[in-house]
Amino acid sequence: MDNFNIMDYAPIGVMFLVAIGFAVSQIMVTQLIGPRKRTATKLMPYECGKDPVGSARDRFSIKFYTVAVIFLLFDIEVLFMVPFAVAFKKLLQMQQVTSISYGTIAFVEILVFIATLVVGYIYVWKKGTFDWGLQARAEARAEARAMVAAKKAELAELRKAA
Amino acid sequence: MNTILLQAISNPDVNLQAILPETIVAVTGIIVMLYDVFAPKQKNVTTVISLIGLAIAAYFMYSMWGGGPTTSWNGMIANDPLRISFSLVLLFVAAVTILTSTVWSERETVPVGEYHALLLFATFGSMFMASGNDFVIIFLGLETLSIATYVMAGLRKSDLKSNESAMKYFILGSFASAFLLYGMALIYGATGTTNVALIAERIASPTFPGLLLMGGAMLVIGFGFKVATVPFHVWTPDVYEGAPSPVTGFMAAGPKAAAFASFIRVFVIGFPLIGGATAAGYLHESWVTALAVMAMLTMTVGNISAIVQNNVKRMLAYSSISHAGYAMVGFVGAGVAKTPEVRDAAIAAVAFYLLTYAVTNLGAFSIISLVGQKNDRRTEFEDYNGIGFKSPVIAFSLSLFMLSLLGLPMTAGFIGKVLVFRPALEAGSVMLTTMVVVAVVNTAISAYYYLRLIVVMFFRERTTDWSEPKMPVGVAAVLLITIIGVFYFGLFSGSWIEKFVTPSAPTAVQAAK
């Protein structure tokens, strides 16, 4: 801590200012120039449409949980890759100074890590976790087929009449 | 140039060969997982893939005997008889469990491929618990093992009992993991290292002696939960009863052996008796006393509770608690050993004991899975009434396993018990001798409920109808392996015990031969 310099932290301070400024400016701009329609739904506490009064023991679709787990998968991927990226340059330098292959080992390790994650990704993909509307799509398809059949029957009747 | 940096990062001691068996198991698990997701209708392909992977891993693990460095990866991975013998037990348990579960995956709609992948990942974690010479590796292995096992316990998604089992195991298991991790943190605070070998050197002059004792106590709780010792055993019967029978057999044999492996490594190797050091001496004395008392309690409570059970799976759950107590007798014997040779022999005895227990227990659970039918409907004692002469293969082999669990001479269980009791008896202290006496008395108590099952099968009238379950090839293979194993380890155990003691690296002792 002997070469502590407050100016080293200046980028973090700037980042803070930008973040606060962005958030405040966005809210101000929408307040100032956005159109307003005061309907009953829009004035509810949660604009997403969640009823604020009622039983708290609601059931959620299992899909939310699987999505949360997958989010964790990629969250952790980034969490590990940032320190790797920070350290990698230094490790490469050390590889040149000593004859020990620090950089290569680190690179191979991160590749193995990503490969493991990709396996998980393929797994959840094939399991259909990203497919949110399987049932809805099947219903829509059945409906479309019924419509086509009805149309065909109608046409056939018209032809017969002709 | 850059000397400060170079000191900060030590040489990356990469030794892929040292973790080759673990890697093979993990890669097999990934292959199984991917195969299953691309061909979800399969039932037997992943069985074959898993068995091949486990066999290759076992081959490489076996070939490590007598070669290679004692530690690798900067001391994180040990390569000693403790690791190799326990890892072989774990691989054996996994392979037999996969064979047993063929019965169950055929008649029920369970996700077979996922089950095999989870089993392989659990084995991977448990092998790292055996090989980890560092708290970090041990904890990672434990978590990999535990999370896979929690899921396996709840594999029957629509069965409430299975759900209860998974839920209880998960909540209590994470609680125990937290204790373990906290204990590791305190030990790190006291010694400034997570490496077990370095801890053994530094406990002579710890930074904070109080932390050492508290950390040790927390580690006892964490590991004690995993091996199911009294008073940390309460989860065992419920979890074992609700989990699908093949999984129960696995949980009683695999995770227990893995937890014993790291338990022994941390306490016997990490907290040895060091002459002239007060803190270390106090730590050693307290953990030996605590574990001796726990061993006595575990055996007694396990056996007495098993007597009153009416469900065979619950009975075997309590029996597994008491067997953890017997294994702890050998463990404490290893703890008080005066010389490294005696210590290694005692550790080998515990490994051998867990091998015999695994052989016997997996055989018993394969029969329970077979008799249990769909969703383990028939697991009460009454369901075994009078099947003795109607289905002689099932009844006689189950009787053999019960006798081996009891420890009748000529069976594997007998040799195992003799071996674990001997080091404690030879130590010559009053407490340890009492412990052995309690163990022998408990063996006599356990005769009641083991023999009860045999009596029920052969001498009771059956009131309900009995249709002999069809025996699949997998279960037949398990029965063959385990029956031969029970007799083989009971009669010709010498070569294996010797093998378990053999140091992996050529040492002075070997050179003298």
| pLDDT tens track for B466-479 | 888 888 888 999 99
| Nearest chain B Cα distance for residue A30, angstroms | 46
Q: Where are the domains of chain A?
A: 71-133
Beta bridge partners of B72: B77
pLDDT of residue A49: 67
| Nearest chain A Cα distance for residue B34, angstroms | 7
Instruction: Flag whether pLDDT at B69 surpasses 80.
Output: no
Q: Does A119 touch chain B (CB under 8 A)?
A: yes
Task: Report chain A's C-alpha Rg in angstroms.
Answer: 28
Nearest CA in chain B to A100: B11
Question: Which pLDDT band, with edges at 50, 70 and 90, does A19 fall under?
Answer: very high
Q: Average pLDDT of B107-118?
A: 87
Question: Which pLDDT band, with edges at 50, 70 and 90, does B482 fall under?
Answer: very high
| Nearest chain B Cα distance for residue A160, angstroms | 48
Give me B142's structure tokens: 């434990």
Size of the A and B interface in Cβ pairs below 8 Å: 28
Among B134-148, B352-366, B483-497, the minimum mean pLDDT is found in B483-497
Which residues touch A70 (CB under 8 Å, ≥6 apart)? Answer: A124, A129
- For A102, which of B12, B30, B38 is closest by C-beta distance? B12
- For A100, which of B5, B11, B37 is closest by C-beta distance? B11
pLDDT of residue B493: 79
pLDDT of residue A131: 79
SS (H, E, C) B62-128: HHCCCCCCCEECCCCEECCHHHHHHHHHHHHHHHHHHHHHHHHHHHCCCCHHHHHHHHHHHHHHHHH
pLDDT of residue B136: 94
Question: Which pLDDT band, with edges at 50, 70 and 90, does B100 fall under?
Answer: very high
Give the integer Cα–Cα distance in Å for A38 and A19.
Answer: 30
| Cβ atoms B349, B268 nearer than 8 A | no
Which residues touch B5 (CB under 8 Å, ≥6 apart)? Answer: A90, A94
| Cβ atoms B33, A119 nearer than 8 A | yes
| Nearest chain B Cα distance for residue A123, angstroms | 7
Residue-wise pLDDT tens digits, B319-376: 999 999 999 999 999 998 888 888 888 999 999 999 999 999 999 999 999 988 777 7
Residue-wise pLDDT tens digits, A56-65: 787 777 778 8
Q: Do A94 and B38 lie within an 8 Å CB cutoff?
A: no
pLDDT of residue B166: 94
| DSSP code for B269 | I
Nearest CA in chain A to B7: A94
Question: Which pLDDT band, with edges at 50, 70 and 90, does B9 fall under?
Answer: low
pLDDT of residue B510: 36
Q: Does B8 touch chain A (CB under 8 A)?
A: no
| Cβ atoms B123, B254 nearer than 8 A | yes
Angle, helix B430-459 to helix B312-335, in steps of 10 degrees: 160
pLDDT of residue A54: 77
Q: Has the ipTM of the complex gone over 0.90?
A: no
Q: Average pLDDT of B12-18?
A: 81
pLDDT of residue B318: 95
Instruction: Flag whether pLDDT at A72 surpasses 50.
Output: yes
Q: Where are the domains of chain B?
A: 17-512
- For B1, which of A97, A123, A126 is closest by C-beta distance? A97
Question: Which pLDDT band, with edges at 50, 70 and 90, does B439 fall under?
Answer: very high
Q: Average pLDDT of B435-449?
A: 93
- For A94, which of B5, B33, B38 is closest by C-beta distance? B5
